[in-house]
Structure 1
Amino acid sequence: MNSLAVSYQPIPRISPLFMYIHLLIPQGIAKNRVSTNPSKGLSMTSGNMTLGEIIRYHRQQQGLSQPELASKAQIEQSYLSKLENDNSYPSDDILKRILSGLDLDIADLCAQLDIRSADPKVMHIESIRTYMGRFQQQSQRRSVFLMAIFTLTIGIGCALFYAGYSEAFFPEKQYSYQSRGEIQPGEPTDYFEGGWRREFPAGAYRPFSSSEGSPEGEAKQQLRQAQVDQANRVNYHSIQSFQPLGSIVERQLDNGNRRLYRLVGSPTQVSRAENGWLMLVGITLTVSGVIGLLLVLRLGSFRGYPLGNG
């Protein structure tokens, strides 16, 4: 009789997290089962083993013979052989004794058990049934939590995209305002728009000349000087705003003077990178949320495990 060729590598204990991942993997992805073909040797794939394969693997991993493990579990060697070949299934009490002899717990067993194709009799063992029922509830709670997170991500992504598209936070219409100069205290608001002329009598604007020393002559001289002073005081200054400030904006200066800004023309369209980034981040979050939600719905479609009827 050919002896069974055994090739394996030491592995750490398998966390129940691996079992949760296995529950979510669509059936058919993990296909490589434990091989007992002498030409291929023995290997182990997490979450893809039968109950008998798990018992045999860990017995060989620990260097125990069948008689030694049977003695620890207080069962017959022939019965252990049937269990390892999946020709029989243990009671809950016997399973606990076997796991104790292998220094395993029920979480280690379930993490390596192929629950999708396991025999209903295996899944009906009380320890496995209880653990898997509790684990399934935890998995469902995780799925609900992840669905809530991804739904929130989609909502935030849509809101950010709309904010960028509608220019809600960063308007792209720019308004220009211009001031001709500083208005001193006591001067009219429209000083640079001709208001300074109201300080002179009507005779100062007559085209004929007046004799020097007359009131009208002095007024004309003052008018000419005022025209020069007003021209020298012209000092244009502009401000831009992405918010409409009205047709006229008055600003007080530190030196006590003030400036009167008037709206110039129509608002201009200015592209702002902030809106582009908002839309990009919004699209990224929305797509990520949709993909995550679809993955949870697809991978979380596992509804349970076969329990059998008795």
Structure 2
Amino acid sequence: MKFGDYLRQKRAERGWTQPQAASRAKIEQSYLSKLENNKSIPSGDIYARLVEAYRIDAEEMAGVLFPAELDRLREIDALRDLLLQRSQADIETPRRILIAGLAALMIGGGFLGFSQLEPARMLTQYTYQSTGVIAANAPSDTEIPPGAPGEDEQTLFLTQMRGPVFTEQVAGGKRVWNLVGSDVVAQAPPYRWALIPGIALIIGGLGCFFVAWRWR
């Protein structure tokens, strides 16, 4: 949007005629007409009158005017300072995003490295089974008939072998565990949890670089 179009829009929002707007801004109607038709640029004094009469928000105006139009208005002292601040902010914001992205990548890499401090270990897992609970004084090889009160088949996985058979005291008697097999299994690395925040931080860091690039 050009400055003249912006002025015309603000005047229309307030329901003023051009003579009324010129009177409120204390300028000639012919000059206001030139401004609205983008045939002239206001001086610092005229701009100040327009701001007071139209109650112009310079920040809001700078956000809707074309960049080329803002360059034309840089001769106005009040706008020059504002545009300089906006220019510095446009430089500082992507710089901060880049720093945040770099920090995220470094921390994410640290998490990934931490997750690999201790690799997975191979362990032998022993499988024991028990058919149910027998009386405490019953022989260990006592068989429990199907449907008997103590029948309660369970499976137990241990990483330490406790012999081919071992007993365990439980409520109502004892349970006999018989070794039925063994397997070699991989134990997950103890710091594997660090993979999730590490990957998330790296993705976030790359996202920061993309945002900073698009900001330019």
TM-score, L = length of structure 2 = 0.65
In structure 2, C-alpha distance between the alignment counterparts of 1:70 and 1:102, rounded to whole Å = 10
Is 1:75 the counterpart of 2:27? The answer is yes
- How far 1:76 moved relative to its partner? 0.8
Amino acid at match of 1:79: Y
Structure-2 residue corresponding to 1:298: 214
Q: What is the aligned counterpart of 1:155 among 98, 106, 121?
A: 106
**Cα separation, partners in 2 of 1:238 and 1:105, compared to 1, 3 Å:** closer
Is 1:285 the counterpart of 2:204? The answer is no
Is 1:270 the counterpart of 2:180? The answer is no
- How far 1:279 moved relative to its partner? 2.6
**Cα separation, partners in 2 of 1:283 and 1:238, compared to 1, 3 Å:** closer
Amino acid at match of 2:38: D
Structure-2 residue corresponding to 1:173: 121
In structure 2, C-alpha distance between the alignment counterparts of 1:119 and 1:155, rounded to whole Å = 40
- How far 1:172 moved relative to its partner? 2.1
Contact 2:123 2:187 (8 Å CA) reproduced: no
- How far 1:88 moved relative to its partner? 0.7
Residues 80-139 of structure 1: per-residue CA shift (max 9 Å, x gap): 111111111100110111111111232232122222x32643233222111110222233
In structure 1, C-alpha distance between the alignment counterparts of 2:66 and 2:34, rounded to whole Å = 19
In structure 2, C-alpha distance between the alignment counterparts of 1:269 and 1:145, rounded to whole Å = 44
Is 1:127 the counterpart of 2:82? The answer is no
Where does 1:204-219 land on structure 2 (aligned, <5 Å)?
none
Structure-2 residue corresponding to 1:9: none
Secondary structure at the aligned position of 1:269 is classed as strand
The runs of at least 4 consecutive aligned structure 1 residues that moved more than 6 Å come to none
Instruction: Give me the CA root mean square deviation.
Output: 2.9
In structure 2, C-alpha distance between the alignment counterparts of 1:238 and 1:79, rounded to whole Å = 92
Structure exhibiting the larger radius of gyration computed from Cα positions: 1
Is 1:95 the counterpart of 2:47? The answer is yes
In structure 1, C-alpha distance between the alignment counterparts of 2:97 and 2:103, rounded to whole Å = 10
Structure-2 residue corresponding to 1:39: none
Where does 1:13-32 land on structure 2 (aligned, <5 Å)?
none
TM-score, L = length of structure 1 = 0.47
Structure-1 residue corresponding to 2:10: 58
In structure 2, C-alpha distance between the alignment counterparts of 1:75 and 1:93, rounded to whole Å = 11
Query: Which piece of structure 1 moves more, 99-108 or 60-69?
Result: 99-108
Is 1:108 the counterpart of 2:60? The answer is yes
Q: How many residues align?
A: 163
Could you list the runs of 5+ residues in structure 1 that have no partner in the other structure?
1-48, 177-236, 241-266, 302-310
Identity %: 25
Amino acid at match of 1:141: E
In structure 1, C-alpha distance between the alignment counterparts of 2:190 and 2:36, rounded to whole Å = 66
Secondary structure at the aligned position of 2:55 is classed as coil
Q: What is the aligned counterpart of 2:93 among 142, 156, 181?
A: 142
Residues 177-236 of structure 1: per-residue CA shift (max 9 Å, x gap): xxxxxxxxxxxxxxxxxxxxxxxxxxxxxxxxxxxxxxxxxxxxxxxxxxxxxxxxxxxx
Residues 257-277 of structure 1: per-residue CA shift (max 9 Å, x gap): xxxxxxxxxx963235852x4
Contact 2:5 2:36 (8 Å CA) reproduced: yes
